[in-house]
Amino acid sequence: MIGKKLKDRYDVLEMIGSGGMATVYLAYCNYLKRNVAIKVLTNVSQDEEEDPLSFEAKAIARVSHTNIVSVYDMFEEDGKTFIVMEYVKGDTLKDHIHRSAPLDEREIITLSTKLASALNAAHTSGVIHRDIKPENIILDPNGEPKLTDFGIAHVSNEGTIVRSDQIFGSLRYASPEQLKGNIVDERSDIYSLGVVLYEMATGKMPFPDESPVTAAFRKLKEPLPAVSVLNPRISPELEKIILKATNIEPSQRYHSMLEFFMALQKLNETAAVMPAQQPAPYISSNNYKNRTVVNSKTERHIGPPPTESRSLMPLWMGLLLGVIVSGIILVMSLGTAAANPADISVPDLSDGITYEQAKERLNALGLYAEVEQALYHDTLAKGYVISQREAPGSLARHKDIIHLSVSRGQEPTGMPDFIHLTKQQAIERAAGLPITLRFEEVFDSDVLKGLVFEQSIPKDSRIEPGSTLILKMSKGSEDRKVKVPDLSGLSEDEADQYLREAKLRMETTERYSDTVEEGHVISHRPSADTEVNEDSIVDVVISRGRQIKQTTVPDVTNIPHADAIAALRNVKLQNSFTEEYSNDVAEGLVISQSPGEGTEVEEDTVVNLVISLGPETVTVPSVTGLIQSEASTILTNAGLRMSFSETYSDTVAKGYVISQSPGQGASAPRGSTVSVVISQGAEGAEEIVYKELKIVVPYSDIPTDSFTVSLAYELGGVRTDSRVIEATKDPSLTEYTTIVSMPAGSTWYLYINNSQAPLQQ
């Protein structure tokens, strides 16, 4: 790539850096005669709908701010996408932290105020950065921060570029909601910037002794360690800002980057009156060391002392001899101070000392200093104490705050900068100036509503007494009315597209619905055809589908069908049923169920029931006059059983059925018993011997498909007719076959359809 000319315009000179996804080169633009940075993707997935460089270019193009690296051009060449950016020569904020941390508090406030201003501009344009970290902040040779690397930004309203299919952000700086994979908004950037402030103030990332993954897990459930533990010199005001910005709950952070910016700016104005000296010493509650402190009024020996600073070294050396000579006096002083810790005499601080020196004096006495007001002063230089609220010689308690008025230096002769101030801030900044302020409100979609974006007299211009300064303030975007489209039944993506086309924004909540398909719109407010301002938010309720609830299947066996249905409905279950005969369960009761008792199922599950029809009944056939074996076969085939008893009969041949109970045509439960009486023949008669006879009749001799078969025999001049058998031709056979028992020596006769037929044995 080095030495190559891109787009016939850019000469690639050298590689600046390379990361996991992209490489950045220094190049020279032959048209505009300037150095530029060119970024090219080195690792892109084929599944990407839009490559990250195109995404980044479009994201940055939406934002214009002096503290955001500018994008000049984007093009494709040889199948690759290139973006041409402002070339910023300098180190990253990470490098600066490694060299100089903890940073001076004024530097922290200055850098963070500018970064918050840049991110506020991004958020105003609908862009959320989502990867704020010191490595993505470059410091130019003048110390100006430049925010870069919008490769995983999210366009929050009009844009369609969303990279939510990836794990994004850096574990050390990502907000808890990012780590959970939840939807993020501006407050995630507030959290990440707060972590950057934390690192500038302490020189360490949160939970530095943990691995990135473990540290991330800890961020999900516990606040960051106190800044003051790692850097006792940090002011309570800055620590409070960092604590609020890095709250675990997004709702407890600053509500917007503008609010974060204004908190930092207010602190910046207070810090601006301080001269660039060493930070104030810290009074430790442990490791007390004896020390002599000298001020203009008294010499006292106290503990605990502030930590050593260069500004106090000559004083320490000068006091060393006094400590040696006055040992006894020092011990007595110590005893007095320890015995009466509440009585601390407030020193006189208006004797031409700086705020930092006053702070050191107070800290040495166990007191704190606070700037109550910063005022212009004709003779005192910036940062010097003008006066104090608590009178010299008055008594204070340990850790009390002494309120000071501090000089802002001589009143400026040049016009201050009013850009990006609120109306109240502008009035406060103009206080004391010999000018008249006039505010004009103008619609401007590029500037947040309520902020100054133009001043009629440029900053640093000579102030003409009595002149009028006109400040133009943004009224935000001009209200243009649009109608809310009807979103009912649309998918979430379709609804979002409809609203974007109508220049509206969508916020969603989810709710279960039995009637609306999952992922589709249940309702929205404002409703369809309502007129609203452009860029208004439409609250859309998206269906989560039917709510799946579990229930336990009750036991409904051996109870009436109607009772079983009621029991199932009580636990929100449906039912279906089949019926079958049962000799054990009474008619109308539940024989069985599926699923069974105790099963956990979803509500509205169907439980299948089997309902009893009671015992199955059959019609009792006639077996009277039949031989015993044949009677048994007929009853068995009818689903009945046979029991028998025997008796003598002068009329019924031995082995034949004399009578039966129940009789022919009666209904009886299937499987029940029919009792028959079998003849033993005439009492004292000669025993008859029976012989089995196989009857075979070809189907060709039978003219009909259904037919009757009957037998008769004659023995000793007595004719006996057998019962009539009803039969049907079997398509798989060619003849009718049956076996009967007849007395030996008898003459047998066969009848088909009551017509005598040849008897084949």
Residue 529 known to be catalytic: no
Catalytic member of 51, 73, 95, 131: 131
Non-local CB neighbours of 669 within 8 Å, separated by 6+ positions: 583, 615, 616, 617, 618
What's the token pair of residue 348? 């006189």
Are the CB atoms for 455 and 469 separated by under 8 Å? yes
Burial of 82 (0-12, 13-18, 19+ CB in 10 A): buried
Where is 617: in which H helix or E strand?
strand 617-619
What's the token pair of residue 516? 């609306």
Between strands 505-511 and 537-543, the pairing is parallel
Show the beta-strand stretches assigned E in 142-268.
145-147, 154-155
Burial of 627 (0-12, 13-18, 19+ CB in 10 A): buried
Where is 522: in which H helix or E strand?
strand 521-525
What's the token pair of residue 761? 């044995």
- Rounded to the nearest 5 degrees, what angle is found at the Cα of 232, between the Cα atoms of 229 and 233? 150
Taking the mean position of all CA atoms in its chain, how far away is CA 644? 81
Q: Count CB neighbours of 524 within 10 A.
A: 23
What's the token pair of residue 141? 């040779």
Q: How far is CA 185 from CA 153, 156, 256, 263, in A?
A: 11, 8, 10, 20
DSSP 8-class letter at 427: H
In degrees and rounded to multiples of 5, residue 278 shows phi and psi of -60, 150
In degrees and rounded to multiples of 5, residue 684 shows phi and psi of 85, 0
Closest to 535 in 3D by CA, of 515, 507, 561, 558: 507
Buried b (16+ CB within 10 A) or exposed e, 166-199: eebbbbbbbbbbbbeeeebbbbbbbbbbbbbbbb
DSSP string, 231-264: -TTS-HHHHHHHHHHT-SSGGGS-SSHHHHHHHH
Non-local CB neighbours of 278 within 8 Å, separated by 6+ positions: 309, 310, 311, 356
Q: How far is CA 88 from CA 59, 64, 140, 145, 538, in A?
A: 19, 16, 6, 10, 41
Catalytic residues: 131
